[in-house]
Amino acid sequence: MIIKSNPDEIQNYLTDASNYSGKCEAVYIPESEQEIVEIVSRCNADKTKITVAGNGTGLTGGRVPEGGIVLSTEKLNKILEINSNDKYAVVQPSVLLNEFQEEVESRNLFYPPDPTERNCYIGGTVATNASGARTFKYGPTRSYVLGLKIVLPDGRKLRIERGQFIADGSHAIIPTEDGSIISFELPNYEMPATKNAAGYYCKEKMDMIDLFIGSEGTLGIITEIKLKLIDLPKNILSCIIFFNSQEDALDFVEEAVRLSRYTDDSIISARGLELFDKFTLKFLRSDYSNIPENAEAAVWFEQEIDGNEDELISEWMELISKHNGMEEDSWIANDRKEMDKFKDFRHAIALKVNDYMSQRGLKKVGTDVAVPFESFKGFYFDTIKLVCEAGLNYVVYGHAGDSHIHLNMLPDNAEQYNKAIETYRQICSNAVKLKGTVSAEHGIGKLKREYFKLMYNDDVIKKMALIKLAFDTNRILNIGNIFDEKYLT
Ligand SMILES: Cc1cc2nc3c(=O)[nH]c(=O)nc-3n(C[C@H](O)[C@H](O)[C@H](O)COP(=O)(O)OP(=O)(O)OC[C@H]3O[C@@H](n4cnc5c(N)ncnc54)[C@H](O)[C@@H]3O)c2cc1C
């Protein structure tokens, strides 16, 4: 095991991609599950707080310590098994998502979850129930987790497979490896029907593995993950279509969603539908001079081709033309290399925004809200109006197919930053009123706790805190994620 306490050596562990930073006494880097058990048992005995670190690409301060020690899983980074016959893989938590996907694809298999930032650990994606463009067709990380090994905050170990422990109504019973039982009542609260990564997944008769997925490291440290794989789709249609108006782009997305999800006899079936607004295109133009001058919006879509390719392309072209897409100026990927370039284009904007904010020493003010499909367009334009009225610069991009946008405000100084925070709160509140979520994929971490309270009242949050206490009686693990420590009394 490596232990670092020199300030220069631990600097990198004190922050994540949100620019929020914290402090800790030391960073522990165990090399086995047994070493994790030892660290955790010691910390539990003397009540030292532990913050679990993945690869630090999180956007909510989830892995940022506010004291105690950091436990980095970085040495547990092996792919343990890829089973091509039964289509599953077993990995340690710190396998890099992009390396895992490349390995799996080299065997003609496919692991769909694709957060835009693929330089993250699989453990981090399970802890936050990460999503990406392909979630539109394939669902979030949760849909691919078949089994987990977890070290609990008191050092006990848990192994849980999908389908193994189902709640008896609202009564949850989870046996640990040493034969002891953890039991508690599942609170009865409504989760948004949208894509969602806010708070514990809880409902009657639930599969108890789902409680751990998206629990942001508050219930235990994930030490091994069994993942479902599917067959690798062979041919993909991947296009970036530019539009002269934002309205046209949104209408195009809306109809593509209807055809993909709600129309049985349509051959249009997108696997991702991503939006870029005019300010995003402006922001990207310095790196991509081929973005058409008069483009006011763009949509990147992908579809797997499993039938007649010409017929499929002509259906999409018809839809593009119906919504006034700039057919001549749009980009169609001819091969895998070009498809990857489109992915880079999507990734570039997220990175540029993060750079912009860190150059100004400000934390990111980017929404992760999602609303129900039927409310999306109205919500989108109301949100833009709100930001314009506040006099703030912004860019909007993201997973429009899932009615999920990242509107990033771009304040230049402290005064604008405060205005952006106020506006951010209003946007979250509007999303919640529409039965949406304040976090569709990044999680709550430490930075979105106040907005989480717009979704659930104190009584509900206290009930969630009781779940954590059932696992973490001494209140040591990932304290401050999802809810404030004050709820853990
Ligand atoms: C440019 C950019 C684009 C992004 N795009 C997306 C996107 O499209 N979709 C999306 O979902 N996210 C996105 N993200 C956010 C981020 O990539 C994901 O949240 C990712 O899942 C975090 O993984 P990580 O290994 O970096 O985790 P970290 O940031 O290190 O940690 C995240 C949380 O998981 C906990 N954790 C990590 N490992 C474990 C473990 N083994 N056991 C228990 N808890 C653990 C940490 O304590 C923390 O609370 C983006 C980030 C960036 C910078």
In ligand 1, which atom is closest to the CA atom of 441? Answer: 11
Coil/strand/helix, residue 125: helix
**Where does 376-480 have alpha helices with state H?**
376-389, 414-433, 449-455, 458-471
| Segments of the chain assigned to CATH 3.40.462.10 | 235-433
* Ligand 1 proximity of 402 Cβ (cutoff 6 Å): no
What residues have CB less than 8 Å from 357, skipping those under 6 apart?
Answer: 19, 363, 364, 365, 410
Q: Cβ(229)–Cβ(88) under 8 Å?
A: yes
Query: For position 350, what pLDDT does the model report?
Result: 87
CATH code 3.30.43.10 region(s) in the chain:
2-72
Write the Ramachandran bin of 284: left for phi over 0, alpha for psi from -120 to 50, otherwise beta.
alpha
CA separation for the pair 16, 369 (Å, rounded): 20
For residue 128, report the distance from its CA to the centre of ligand 1, in Å.
6
363 touches 19 (CB < 8 A): yes
Q: Which atom of ligand 1 is nearest to the CA of 141?
A: 11
CATH of 79-231, one of 3.10.350.10, 3.40.50.261, 3.40.50.300, 3.30.465.10: 3.30.465.10
Task: List, in order, residues 6 or more apart from 39 with CB less than 8 Å away.
Answer: 1, 28, 30, 50, 69, 71
Nearest CA to ligand 1 atom 11: 130
Our answer on whether the CB atom of 93 is closer than 6 Å to any ligand 1 atom is: yes
Rounded distance between C-alpha atoms, residue 198 and residue 214, angstroms:
8
Q: Confirm or reject: Cβ of 17 under 6 Å from ligand 1.
A: yes
| Cα separation, 146 vs 314, whole angstroms | 39
How many A from CA of 14 to the centre of ligand 1? 15
What is the 451 CA–ligand 1 centroid distance (Å)? 19
Regarding the beta carbon of 366 and ligand 1, being less than 6 Å apart is answered: no
CATH class label, 235-433: alpha beta
pLDDT at 362: 86
10-residue mean pLDDT series, the chain (489 residues): 95 93 97 98 98 97 97 98 98 98 97 94 98 96 98 97 97 96 94 96 97 98 98 94 96 97 94 96 92 95 92 95 95 90 90 88 91 97 97 96 96 93 97 98 96 96 96 97 94
Q: Which of 63, 355, 478 to mutate to test the pocket of ligand 1 (most atoms within 8 A of CB)?
A: 63
In CATH, which of 3.90.550.10, 2.60.120.10, 3.20.20.370, 3.30.43.10 is domain 2-72? 3.30.43.10
Decide if 441 contacts 214 (C-beta within 8 A): no
Cα(441) to ligand 1 centroid in Å equals: 9
Going from the Cα of 453 to the center of ligand 1, the distance in angstroms, rounded, reads 22
73 lines ligand 1 (CB under 6 A): yes
pLDDT at 361: 86
Q: How far apart are CA 488 and CA 87, in angstroms?
A: 41
170 Cα to the center of ligand 1, angstroms: 30
The Cα 395–Cα 171 span in angstroms is 45
Q: Is 118 helix (H, G, I), strand (E, B) or coil?
A: coil
> How far, in Å, from the CA of 472 to the mean position of ligand 1?
22
**Cα-based distances in Å from 14 to 55, 130, 439:** 12, 22, 23
Number of Cβ within a 10 Å radius of residue 55? 22
**Nearest atom within ligand 1 for CA of residue 130:** 11
Task: Specify whether the CB–CB gap between 145 and 213 falls below 8 A.
Answer: yes
Query: Could you identify the atom of ligand 1 that is nearest to the CA of residue 150?
Result: 42
Sign of CA dihedral 188, 194, 446, 61: positive
The number of C-alpha atoms within 13 Å of 200 and in the hemisphere containing its C-beta is 26
Quick one: which of 65, 62, 49 has its CA closest to 197? 62
Cβ within 8 Å of residue 60, ≥6 positions away: 16, 18, 439, 442, 443, 444, 445, 446, 447, 448
Specify the pTM.
0.95
- CB hemisphere CA count around 232 (13 angstroms): 13
Q: Is 435 helix (H, G, I), strand (E, B) or coil?
A: coil
| Tokens describing residue 103 | 């390995």
Question: What residue spans of 197-293 are helical by DSSP H?
Answer: 209-212, 246-262, 278-285
Farthest CA pair distance, the chain: 67
* Rounded-to-integer distance, Cα 216 and Cα 194, Å: 19
d(CA 277, CA 250): 10
Q: How far is the CA of 307 from the centre of ligand 1 (A)?
A: 36
- Cα of 443 vs centre of ligand 1, distance in Å, is 9
Q: Is 12 helix (H, G, I), strand (E, B) or coil?
A: helix
Give the atom of ligand 1 at the shortest distance from the alpha carbon of 399.
8
SS3 label, residue 366: strand
Neighbours of 237 (CB within 10 A): 18
